[in-house]
Amino acid sequence: MLNWNGKHHLASCLGSLSELDYPASKLEVILCDNGSVDGSVEYVKAKFAGVKVIALDRNYGFAEGNDRAAAEASGEWVGFLNNDMWVKPAWLKDMLAALEERPDAACIASKIVNWDGSAVDFVGGAVNFMGQAFQPDYGKPDSPHDKFRRLLFACGGAMLVRRELFLEVGGFDPDFFAFFEDVDLGWRLNVLGYDTWYTPHAIAYHRHHGTAKRIQPQKLRALTERNALATIYKCFDDDNLAAALPAALILLNERAVLMAKLDVSQFKTGERSAGFDVAAPVSSSSSVKPLSFPGKVRRVVREEGWGVAFRKAVHLTVDSIVDGLIAVLNLFGDQSSGDHSYRMPAVTASHYAALSQFAHQLDALNEKRAWIQSRRRRSDAEIVPLLQEPFYAGYDNERYVQFLTWLCRVQGLDRRFNEAAD
């Protein structure tokens, strides 16, 4: 279990682990602390003497922190559980029971629900061709996906993996720091010929985003955008990478342009439009419709509670004010003496920061890609169906959805990934 200033979560999580119905001689509980300053280490040592504590000097992120703990573990399997979760006594036995059906499984994914068990959190993840992952049926009371099945990846918040294999393949990529490191690990395992299986019988209860909500939005966006690119760069075969990466970069830019509310027509010099017309009215035939503001509020209240809904409403109001001020400043800048600068919110700029970070990591990414591809045991034709949603938009904007659909058609990605999924 990884911890970063999460003392308030530890009684529930470690308390539930102390009650696991599993032979004590075969069980080791490790808490790896990422440089907490809230007294977490002292609390665990005082209240949970049987827990092995690895106290790091600073926050190394989810990926490296868990890697360090796994390196010091001694079991055949290593399990990862977020500190903002709790489990019932049978959880670990229920996880390992999956081996009765799939004894050769390399990784086992737990079912995850919300804190009181009334709604789905994770019943298997899906990924688009850009490397962005999401959780189907999140927030719903149940899901047709909630069945024993093979996955591309397990959620890193509640999973088991064979320890020697985990270390052999490089564990969670420490350069990811946090977010999508579990997607990258699962995809990598699949390329190397190993399976991940989801079991609906083992359930972890999650207080959603107990840590993520403390990360500034622009930093969170930069992490997810960069790590998604890194994942596909490492794991797609040569042909699919050559098709997917340019489109992913174009779409990253399109998200930033739309989020910045940038009027790209101001950069034209009178030439005629060709291709996708950004000024054309949005077609009503789009298969994905953005939620209305009341709809978004209802979704957040249902999935995360009134407290989170209120905070997000406040942030949305502040963001709207900031957007309005930026629009005024941009207009003023255009009409002032020679000042043609544009201003954008930090979360918009984070797309370009992510692209820069990705570019600066290419030397290391090339080495990682070469290692993975040289050991490939499965073709992409076998793996792509596990993405489940290769054309998932991931951005709730009608014009972006239409641009994505158009780009996939003109670049042949719709045929490439649909045929692979079929």
Structural domain spans, the chain = 217-264+277-421
Pair 86, 9: CB distance under 8 Å? no
The one-digit pLDDT tens for each residue of the chain (422 residues) are 999 999 999 999 999 999 999 999 999 999 999 999 999 999 999 999 999 999 999 999 999 999 999 999 999 999 999 999 999 999 999 999 999 999 999 999 999 999 999 999 999 999 999 999 999 999 999 999 999 999 999 999 999 999 999 999 999 999 999 999 999 999 999 999 999 999 999 999 998 665 666 788 999 999 999 999 999 999 999 999 999 999 999 999 999 999 998 888 888 877 666 677 655 544 433 334 344 444 454 445 444 455 545 545 544 454 555 555 555 555 444 444 455 677 888 999 999 999 999 999 999 999 999 999 999 999 999 999 999 999 999 999 999 999 999 999 999 999 999 865 55
Which amino acid does the sequence have at 85? Answer: M
Spatial separation of the C-alpha atoms in residues 217 and 221, rounded to whole Å:
6
Q: What are phi and psi of 326, to 5 degrees?
A: -65, -40
Residue 110 bridge partners (DSSP): 199
- CA distances in angstroms from 63 to 40, 83, 332, listed in the order given: 20, 14, 45
Single pTM value for the model: 0.86
Per the listing, tokens 């490439």 go with 416
Spatial separation of the C-alpha atoms in residues 307 and 309, rounded to whole Å:
5
Helix, strand or coil for residue 44?
Answer: helix
Q: What are phi and psi of 303, to 5 degrees?
A: -90, -35
- For the range 58-61, what are the long-range contacts, defined as Cβ-Cβ under 8 Å and sequence gap of 24 or more? 58/34, 59/4, 59/34, 59/35, 60/34, 60/35, 60/174, 61/34, 61/174, 61/176, 61/177, 61/178
Select from 115, 221, 204 the least CA-distant residue to 154: 204
- CA distances in angstroms from 225 to 96, 155, 360, 372, listed in the order given: 34, 18, 14, 21
Model confidence over 324-375: pLDDT tens digits? 555 555 544 444 445 567 788 899 999 999 999 999 999 999 999 999 999 9
What token pair was written down for 32?
Answer: 């790896």
245: left (phi over 0), alpha (psi -120 to 50) or beta: alpha
Pair 192, 144: CB distance under 8 Å? no
Which amino acid does the sequence have at 155? Answer: C
Residues 6+ apart with CB under 8 A from 267: none
